[in-house]
Every structure is written in C-alpha cells, then in structure tokens.
Chain A
Amino acid sequence: MRRFLVAALLLIGVPAAHATLLQRFEIEDLARHSEAVAVVRVLEVKAAWEDDAMIRTRVRLGVERVIAGRAPREVTVVIAGGTVGEASATVGGMPAFAAGERMVVFLEPRKSGGMHVVGAFQGAFRLVTEAETGMPLAVREAAKGAAFYGVEEEDDGARSLYLDELEARVREVRR
C-alpha cells in the first residue's frame, strides 16, 4: 500500500509548501493548553512516508524533568512534514528538532497517537547557556512559513527568556 502511494506521489508531485496561519500564544497560553510541559532531550528524529501519502516526522523525546502536568519518561511527537531522501514536505510553522538537543516542550495529545507540540513552533524552545551569566536560556527562533492572526504589530515569533522565568510563568498558570 505504502509503495503504491509513494509511486502515485511521484506522478502527482510531492508536497512542498506549506503555509500555516497561527493563533499567537504566549507562555501562559501554551501552558493553559498543554497536558504537560517538560524539559526533554531529543533522542531521535525520523521522517517517513506514511500510508495516507503524507510524510510525517516522528520525534522521540526523553523526558528529563516535568515542569507542569504529567508525562511518561519518553514521548513521541508527531509532526506533519519532513524529508525522506529527495522528497521533502514542509508544513509551515511546525517545530524543528535535532537529535541531542535539550528543549522545553509544551505537549498535548494527538488524536491518532503520539503528541503534538502546542501552538506548533511556538511550543518548542531550545535550551542554551547564556555565555555571560552561564544561565539556561529558552530560545525560540522565528517562524518559517507561518503567519499570526489577530496580531497588530509585526511579530516573527522569536522569543528568548531565562528558563527560570519560563518555569515561573508556567507555574503561575498551572498551580
């Protein structure tokens, strides 16, 4: 079945783009919509053609610490799109993961298995160490292929804040 679909796609074309309209979420909104907020390490990132003729990326995350809610020791986030060989399907605004990175993710259950990142790219922050202070920073890069609805000012979605502040804002909502 999958082989048939991939053959069909070669005739029809591959999904390339990828434009997504988002509701802008701040930390509090993300926390409110999440089942769990956790510090995780990315264990594996794997994209594949699936039976419904769509490329999806499945990201295995090892949960190091739960900030709010409940999460098992390992979760799988499923993202629409990805790259398989020369075929690439990009759905705008989806979060990007790289194996080995530490991140903070806002998670919600996905109806057909696995987890979603709440607010698409908005709910995934890379953890880096600030050079000057040595403090952990949660960093979110600008959206790619996504736009915000209901926003007055120009906003590319990029954010950077100390992990302490992020956790405090989550707990303020989830206590």
Chain B
Amino acid sequence: MKRAIVLALVLAPAPVLAYEFIQRGGNSMRWPNAAIDYYQEVTAAPAGIPAVVDQAFDTWDLLPSITVSFTKVGQQAGGLNRGFTADGVNVVSYGDANAELPTGVLAATVDFDAGTHGCPDGTCSTITESDIVFNDGVDFTDSEGASLSAGCIPQVTGRFDAEAVALHEIGHLLGLQHPAGQTYETAIMFPSISDCDPNRTNPRQDDIDGVTFMYSSGTAAAYPGFTVGQPMGYPPHTVSFTDTSTGSITSYDWDFGDGGTSTATDPTHEFTAVGSYTVRLTLNGTTSSEVNDAVVVVARPEPDFSADVVAGDPPLTVNFSNSTPNATQLDFSWSFGDGGTSIQRNATHTYDAVGYYTVQLEADAGPGPITMTKTKYIKVGNPAEETLIPGCECRVAHRRPSLGSALLALAALALVRRRR
C-alpha cells in the first residue's frame, strides 16, 4: 500500500513533493519504534534554551496523527558525548566539543543508520540514533515575535529563535528532509525559515503530512487554520474568525490573546483595548495554530487643524497646520473644498476663486480614515451669503453690500429725493 502511495505521488502531474524524507541507499530513513528517548547535554547551553527545545519535542509529540512519541530521559552537564558521536544515545547538545560547526551554522542533525534491519517492509532504512548540535557561537535568545516587532526585517536582531530551529532539527531527527516545494504554506522543513513568519514554531500541514505518512497512527490528522475577517481596527473592534481547519475535528478552543476565549467554530470577538493580539486555535485539545499579531487594535486618531489665515482676497494662500496628536504615526489626506487635495502632514493651498470653502482632514492609523470637517472654514473674497429661511428647507443666496455699492445706493437715494 505504501509503495502504491509513493508511486502515485511520484507520477502525479504536480511534480513537487511538499515533504521529503532523508534517503539512505534509495530508502527513506525512519525510526523502527514508536518511542524515542533523548537526552539534553547542557554543558554550554544558554539559559532557558533547553526548555524551549523540550517544548519543540512536545510540539511534534502531540501530533495525534503519528505514533512516534518522545521521552526526555535526562538533562545533564557532562557525562554524555557532545556533538555527532555514534554512541547509541540521542543527544541534543550545545556547542561542539570537537568544533565541527563553523561560524554561520546554527544547528545540525546527524541521523545514524543501520540499513534495512528492523524495517517493517524492507523499504526504509532504520534510524538507530540521532544527534542534534546547536552552535554555541549563536545567540538563540530570539523568542517568537522579537524580530517581528523589529519591523520584520530578517536577522535584524542578529538573534535566532531556538524553538523554530529546534522544531526544524527535530523534523530531521524524525527523518524529514527539506522539501523541494510546498503544497499549502511554508513548512517548518522548508529550506528557508523566515524570521517574519509568525507561525514558524508550528509544524505546518506539509510537515504533518510527511511524518504522518511515515508514522501514521491511523487517526486522521487535524490541521488547524483560520482567517481573520478584520485584522485591524479602532476600539472597540469586532472581529470575525473563520475556521479553515481540515481533518478530523472534535473540538475548537480559541484564545484571542486578550483573555477572551471561545469554543465556537467561527467565533466573533470584540477587542476593547489597543494592542496587538496573538490568536491561537487549538483543535481536539492538542494541535494548535497560533498567529502573532493576528489582530491589531490601534488608537482612534483625533484629527484637527488650523489655518494661518481664514479669509482674504484671491489669490489667497493658506498654510494649514496639522494639530492631530501622534501625527507622525498617521497617514493624512486633505481636501481643501475647491477640488484641491494633499497628503502632506501640514499643507499649503492657494484659493483662486471667490467663495466659502469647507476643509477636511482625514487621519488614518491603518484601519481606515477618521475625518475632521470644518464647514465654510475659508472665505475668499466676498462670496454670496447663504441664509437659512425658517420653516423652509431651502437657502437663499445674497451678497453683502460692498462700500462702493453702498455709496452708489446713497447717491441714487439723494438724487431721487432732490427730484422730489
């Protein structure tokens, strides 16, 4: 049956496998037993990192679709071989007593192989031991999101995420190789791990498919996934989440990152406070998908402005001063009322025609514009007045008399009186 599946994959029109296995003599390498013991040799381990590595083992371990499980047998400093020593013990070590790892190598895994002995159907090659070495010259203190908060510039921090590295290396320990392509989204075993991938510490569907193919428990794998309806907004911000998970699912547990939770399939949640929220969906109590910054709620802008002059004869040049708080973090759009616009923070505009002009300033912190409107804020020349007539939904335009027209009227009045 396995042979048939392999053939189907190879001969299928889509030429690229989304997962691949480490090969030995033309056979895929795999563990013969379900239980894999490992040690941590922590002589040169940075503080806190062994616990993160344990967490990565747990992440693989908790996949319900596979039979393989990991047991940590011990953690010690000294008494175990560091590096890639064939001693029958699976060891994760930090630094390398034999200095095998040059600068630039973050970590490496070596699987030891005993040929096809112990392989159930003779088509695999048995892994008898696997050692993982982290380079002790590397700073592995980058927790999830640290590089993201630095603007998502890869390696900007010069630090690396130990959990992402461990998850990738444990994938090799299980027999997974770097795939040549991807079916769904970037897998943890993909040849490039992005600092900017907020979900880089979770096995993806391609990874899970790979290990499930090799170590299937007979339980259909559940793959968590969801989309966020409105990822950004002003408080209170209501967000709808749509489940895109696949596989056999018996329960949903949503954690919205602000203390709120839900067990609905497609929940809606209101975020009341400004912040960046990591949302996690756990399926069947075990398999999780977490998205950092899944929802970002930003403070509502309060746009405001003034002008150095609000009235005058044409051409009238007006300098508008933007007094919106936190203006450097916002995008602006001006509308000057005569068809003119600007996206400058502070704007200058010249009015050529007589009239009243309503000025608008839009401020956008990301989710959308908030508008401040000042009606008939600028008066150029002597425009026609508009008067509201009580009881009438209409306006009457009239001109305020100028000095010349008033003098003319007085002269006409005097002439009429003299004729009388």
Chain B positions within 8 Å of A9 at CB level:
86
List the one stretch of A38-46, A65-73, A107-115 in contact with chain B: A107-115
Q: Is A89 an interface residue (CB 8 A)?
A: yes
Chain B: minimal CB distance from A53 (Å): 5
Question: Does B108 contact A91, Cβ atoms closer than 8 Å?
Answer: yes
Q: Mark B17-30, 1 if CB is under 8 A from A, else 0.
A: 00000111000010
| Option from A22, A151, A154 in Cβ contact (under 8 Å) with B106 | A22
- B112 touching A21, Cβ below 8 Å: no
Check B22–A80 contact: CB distance below 8 A: no
Query: What chain A residues lie within 8 Å of B172 (beta carbons)?
Result: 17, 19
User: What 1/0 mask marks residues of chain B from 89 to 119 whose CB sits below 8 Å from any chain A CB?
Assistant: 0000000001111111111111111110000
Query: Which chain A residues border B165 with CB–CB below 8 Å?
Result: 21, 149
When A111-B99, A118-B102 are in contact, do A19 and B22 touch as well, CB less than 8 Å? yes
CB–CB B169/A21 < 8 A: yes
Partner of A19, one of B24, B85, B177: B177
Residues in chain A near residue B23, CB distance under 8 A:
17
Which listed segment binds A: B188-196, B241-249, B283-291? B188-196
A69 to B89, CA, bound (A): 41
On whether the beta carbons of A149 and B160 are closer than 8 Å, the reply is: yes
Closest beta carbon of chain B to A165's beta carbon, Å: 21
Q: Which listed residue, A20, A122, A150, touches B154 by the CB 8 Å rule?
A: A150
Instruction: Verify B84–A91 contact, CB threshold 8 A.
Output: yes
- A8, A23, A143, A154 pick with most chain B CB within 10 angstroms: A23
B128 at the interface (CB under 8 A from A): yes
A54 pairs with B104, CB closer than 8 A: no
CB neighbours of A17 from chain B (8 A): 22-24, 29, 109-111, 113, 172, 177
The contact string, 1 if C-beta is below 8 Å from chain B, for chain A 142-155, is: 01011111111111
Q: A22-B105, A23-B155 are in contact. Are A153 and B112 (CB under 8 A)?
A: no
A23's partner among B22, B104, B147, B169 (CB-CB below 8 A) is: B104
Known: A54-B86, A120-B102, A149-B106. A19 touches B178 (CB 8 A): yes
B88 neighbours in A (Cβ, 8 Å): 12
User: CA–CA, A142 to B91, complex, Å?
Assistant: 29
| C-alpha gap A12/B22 in the complex (Å) | 18
A23 touches B106 (CB 8 A): yes
In A22-76, the 8 Å CB interface with B consists of 22-25, 29, 33, 52-54
In whole angstroms, how far apart are the Cα atoms of A44 and B84 in the complex? 24
Contact yes or no, A122 B104, CB < 8 A? yes
CB of A128 within 8 Å of the partner chain? no
> Cβ of A19: which chain B residues have Cβ within 8 Å of it?
22, 108-109, 169, 172, 177-178
- B128 contact set on A, CB distance < 8 A: 12-13
Min CB distance A3 to B, Å, is 14
- In the complex, chain B residues 389-417 whose Cβ is within 8 Å of any chain A Cβ: none
Q: Select A148's contact among B109, B147, B193, beta carbons within 8 Å.
A: B193
Distance of A143 Cα from B192 Cα, bound (Å): 12
Contact A18 B110 (CB under 8 A): yes
Please report the C-alpha to C-alpha distance between residue A118 and residue B137 in the assembled complex, in whole angstroms: 13
Residues A13 and B104 in contact, CB atoms below 8 Å apart: no
Of the candidates B22, B98, B196, which one forms a contact with A16 in the assembled complex, judged by CB atoms under 8 Å apart? B22
Q: Which residues of chain A have a CB within 8 Å of any CB of chain B?
A: 5, 8-9, 12-25, 29, 33, 52-54, 80, 89, 91-93, 108, 110-112, 116-120, 122-123, 143, 145-156
User: Can you show 23 pairs from A to B with CB atoms below 8 A apart?
Assistant: A15-B84, A16-B24, A17-B23, A21-B105, A22-B105, A29-B104, A52-B85, A54-B100, A91-B100, A91-B110, A112-B98, A117-B102, A119-B102, A120-B102, A145-B178, A147-B168, A147-B189, A147-B193, A148-B191, A148-B192, A149-B192, A149-B195, A152-B192
Q: Which residues of B contact A (CB under 8 A)?
A: 22-24, 29, 81, 83-88, 98-115, 125-129, 138, 147, 154-155, 160, 164-165, 168-169, 172, 177-178, 189-196
